[in-house]
């Protein structure tokens, strides 16, 4: 709903395109687009978790080294 207010006259945003396609019947392109979006979001989440996990392990390693010195 917000996309229709933000887009302005004559503009079609991705959410508006997806919603109108779903209303008329889901076609394979919308399924492929949804799959790609889910994959990208999942990969971004996985990479963010991996980076945070590595930095936390490094922080704990440095903390242990500083307390033993």
Decide which of 28 and 64 is more confident. Answer: 64
Reported as a single tens digit per residue, the pLDDT across 3-62 is 666 667 777 777 777 777 777 777 788 888 889 999 999 999 999 999 999 999 999 999
Distance CA 19, CA 4 (A): 11
Residue-level pLDDT at 2 = 67
Domain that holds residue 42: 2-68
Residue-level pLDDT at 21 = 76
Residue-level pLDDT at 68 = 76
- Which H, E and C letters describe 1-69, residue by residue? CHHHHHHCCCCCCHHHHHHHHHHHCCCHHHHHHHHHHHHHHHHHHHHHHHHHHHHHHHHHHHHHHHHHC
State how many domains the chain has: 1
């Amino acid at each position: 709903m917000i996309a229709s207010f933000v887009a302005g006259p004559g503009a079609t945003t991705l959410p508006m395109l997806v919603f109108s396609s779903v209303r008329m019947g889901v076609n394979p392109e919308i399924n492929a687009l949804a799959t790609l979006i889910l994959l990208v979001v999942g990969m971004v989440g996985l990479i963010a978790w991996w980076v945070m996990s590595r930095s936390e392990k490094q922080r704990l390693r440095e903390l242990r080294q500083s307390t033993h010195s």
